[in-house]
Structure 1
Amino acid sequence: MTLIIEDGTGKPDAESYATADELALYAVKFGVVIPADVPAHEALLRRAALAMDGMTWKGRKTRSEQALSWPRREVHLDGENKAANYLPARIQYGQLALAAEIHQDDIDPVEKRKGAVTLERVEGAVTREYATIPSTSKRLLPAAPDRPSATQFADYLQRRGLYAVRC
């Protein structure tokens, strides 16, 4: 089934910001592993779009009936207010990165994942020890410790990075 791509008009049936071909090109450019077939690419992009809908973005949806989180209105970025049909390229790039990250989490065996660093010693050589994560744990960490999608989305989210709460 062909993806319905958001073009900045706030489509009520949009499923993705990027096409399966764009995901394949992204994988080649950045050396990430994705499935070989187009239906699997489309499924990954749909899953990434659903994950993105759970994020807290700046501004508000342009139309209440639009399917995806973008385009948005009242987005103030880099000292200017963005147009209501503004669809940042980094939203698309972030979806591509997130789709690749989701696939990596799908194929990464649980027994190869590493927990938090519990010991690190530097005396000539570096010793690093990781916490053990049992395969039955409900608190498995994502496979990739660094997430390119998070970098792409940072400027467009309500809160970026760490923040402190004053008591």
Structure 2
Amino acid sequence: MTLIIEDGTGKPDAESYASAEDLALYAVKFGTVIPAGVPEQEALLRRAALAMDGKTWKGRKMSSEQALSWPRREVLLDHEIKPNNYLPARIQYGQMALAAEIHQDDIDPVEKRKGAVTLERVEGAVTREYATIPNTSGRLLPAAPDRPSATQFSDYLQRRGLFAVRA
């Protein structure tokens, strides 16, 4: 089934910001691993678009009927409000980076994954210890914050980087 691509008009049935062909070109350019088949690539793009819908973006949806989070209105970026049909290229690149990250999470064995840093000591040489990830958890860990998609999305999210909440 062919992906319905968002073109900035706020399509009510859009499923992705990028096509499988775009994803394949992205993978070649950046040396990422993706599935060879177009249906599998399209499925990855759909999964990435769903994950993106869970983020808190700047501005508001252009229309309540649109399927995806972008295009948006009232997006303030670099001290200017972007047009209502604004669909940044970095949203498309971010979706493709996220799709590649999701695929990497799918194919990486759990034993190779690293948990959060629980110990780090600097005395000449650096010692770093990671939390153990149980094989029986049945849960995939979300993409790490140092992945390329996080960088692509950072200017367009409501909150970026570290923030404090006063209790």
Specify if TM > 0.5: yes
TM-score w.r.t. length of structure 1: 0.92
Alpha-carbon offset, residue 124 of structure 1: 4.7
Matched with 2:14 is: 14
Name structure 2 gaps, 5 residues minimum: none
For the residue of structure 1 that corresponds to 2:153, the secondary structure is helix
Q: Does 1:99 align with 2:99?
A: yes
List per-residue Cα deviations over 1:73-92 (Å, max 9, x = no partner).
11111011100001000000
Alignment match, 1:147? 147
Give identity over the alignment, percent.
Answer: 87
TM-score, normalization by structure 2: 0.92
Deviation at 1:116, TM superposition (A): 2.5
Structure 1: runs of 5 or more not aligned = none
Name the SS of the counterpart of 2:129 in structure 1. Answer: strand
Aligned residue identity for 1:52: M
How far does residue 136 in structure 1 lie from its aligned partner after superposition? 1.6
Q: Distance in 1 between matches of 2:82 and 2:145?
A: 32
SS at 1:119's partner residue?
strand
What's the CA shift string for 1:45-90, capped at 9, x where partnerless? 0010011111111111111101110000111110111000010000
1:3-152 matches, within 5 Å, as 3-137=3-137, 141-142=141-142, 146-152=146-152
Give the secondary structure class of the aligned counterpart of 1:128.
strand
- Which 4+ stretches in 1 moved above 6 angstroms? none
Give 3-state SS (helix, strand or coil) of 1:10's partner. coil
**2:128 alignment partner, SS class:** strand
Aligned residues: 167
1:104/1:143 contact within 8 Å kept: no
1:134 CA displacement: 1.5
Residue 159 in structure 1 maps to residue 151 in structure 2: no
Maintained 8 Å contact 1:133/1:140: no
Kept after mapping to 1: 8 A contact 2:16/2:45: yes
Q: Do 2:115 and 2:132's aligned partners in 1 also have CA atoms closer than 8 Å? A: yes
More displaced 10-residue stretch of structure 1: 92-101 or 109-118: 109-118
For 1:165, what is the secondary structure of its paired residue?
coil
> What is the Cα deviation at residue 40 of structure 1?
0.5
